[in-house]
Amino acid sequence: MQSFPLLLEWSTDPVMYHGFLSVMDRELEIWIELPYTANRRTETDNNIKSKSTTGQLRLFTANVGVIFGTDELQKILEGHEAQLQKKMDEASNMEEFLAELVDTLEAILSSKKTNAEQQRSLSYWTHVIKQLDALGWERVTNLNKDLSQAQIELSDASGRKHLLTVDFPPGYPAVPFNLKPLEIPEHDIQRLSQTLTSKSLSLNQENGLLAAVECAEKQLRDFTDFWDVMQDIDDKTWVVDPEKPTKADCMRRCVLGNHCTIQIVIDPTSPRSMPETRLIGPASSIESMRTKLYKNVSLWDKMKLPRENLEALLELPNGFPTPVTASKEEINIECGICYSFRYEGQIPDQLCSNIKCQQPFHRACLYDWLRNLTTTRQSFNTLFGVCPYCNETITTTAPRA
């Protein structure tokens, strides 16, 4: 019985084994009695008879032995008993027969599994197809082989493309399909996903997906002007933050020149209103720009794009610098120590106060630089040293950990 490690010798007189047959991740309990000697067979027969009255599966052949199975085994083998008895009659010993039994169990269990899967996938398949039929296949841009995920392309009023992802869980249609929220400004995501969820609950309707998509399209229309405004900023300025704006981002930080940038936060519900702005750069340059901004605020024209309005208010006759019109050296907004703009999520916000220098640095870069110089003095967490560019005094505080 070496090929069946889960079977242990239970008794020696008669020789009985008890244990499990391992078939397709299942452990099936079994009792086995081996033929001891010819003259004991009658005794064994009696034993068998008593066991068989319990309704358990029983297979018996004189030279192989007896098998008692549990209800579980019996249930699986239902209808196959005669076939197995025949195999047992042909087998020369118990081990040979057990190998046959395992093969038979595997065949039965795997065919049962396939049936269940086919049944599920047939209903699944039919329902997913119905949803996509109702939606219109021309709108489906991508569909997984197993139909578990589809991508639907939507357009806003300006023809901008948006992707809606729909997941059909394995239990669909008993479990509702799931829509991934669109990339839209933060404050509205919740409202939209709530609407979409309530729509997707009408999953028994053949047009449940269509209804959800139509609802998403309606919501997209509300943001068209917002995206027009953001796209104009992206096209006509030099955006340094965010690195890769998404359709949900309302903020842009744009290069102004003279070491300055302006942070603009557009209100998605009123994209043409004067946005929240913040000027970042050397105090002297910022001061003059802030003065212009306030002086000209009455010029704001809601018919124009915010980018155009800001150019008018800030008195930028050539408009915002763009990567085409200005060079990296000119705008000089990168850190003078690590030569990059973004460092561990930080942007260079420490500026040399020497008007002729105004070199920006990351706080962390400047702090490390000054700390390693023997000439630097420290008072609490503030360092007093010299600017690596102009040698004038520069101070900085420890960056937050």
Q: Which residues bind Zn ion (CB under 5 A)?
A: 335, 337-338, 343, 352, 354, 357, 359, 362, 365, 387, 389-390
Instruction: State in angstroms the smallest separation of the CB of 204 from Zn ion.
Output: 58
Question: CA separation (Å) from 27 to 6, 72, 102, 106?
Answer: 9, 10, 11, 12
Q: How far apart are CA 340 and CA 116, in angstroms?
A: 58
Query: CB–CB of 192/220 below 8 Å?
Result: no
* Number of residues assigned to the chain: 401
| Beta bridge partners of residue 165, listed in sequence order | 151, 180
Nearer CB in complex with Zn ion: 272/362: 362
Nearer CB in complex with Zn ion: 211/338: 338
Instruction: State in angstroms the smallest separation of the CB of 342 from Zn ion.
Output: 9
In this structure, what token pair is assigned to residue 275? 């946005």
Instruction: State in angstroms the smallest separation of the CB of 337 from Zn ion.
Output: 5
Nearer CB in complex with Zn ion: 142/284: 284
Nearer CB in complex with Zn ion: 131/258: 258
3-state helix, strand, coil in the chain (%, to 5): 40, 25, 35
Burial class for 37, CB neighbours closer than 10 Å (0-12, 13-18, 19+): exposed
Instruction: Give the number of other CB atoms < 10 A from CB of residue 214.
Output: 14
Instruction: State in angstroms the smallest separation of the CB of 384 from Zn ion.
Output: 14
Nearer CB in complex with Zn ion: 65/282: 282
Nearer CB in complex with Zn ion: 67/352: 352
Q: What are the start-end ranges of the H helices in 79-185?
A: 81-90, 94-135
How big is the CA angle at 28 (ends 27 and 29), to the nearest 5 degrees?
115
Question: Which string of b and e fits 17-26 if b means at least 16 CB within 10 Å?
Answer: bbbebebeee
Instruction: State in angstroms the smallest separation of the CB of 281 from Zn ion.
Output: 14
Nearer CB in complex with Zn ion: 23/357: 357
Instruction: State in angstroms the smallest separation of the CB of 345 from Zn ion.
Output: 12
Instruction: State in angstroms the smallest separation of the CB of 347 from Zn ion.
Output: 9
Nearer CB in complex with Zn ion: 220/387: 387
Tell me the HSE value of 274 on the side-chain side, using a 13 A CA sphere: 16
| Beta bridge partners of residue 343, listed in sequence order | 346
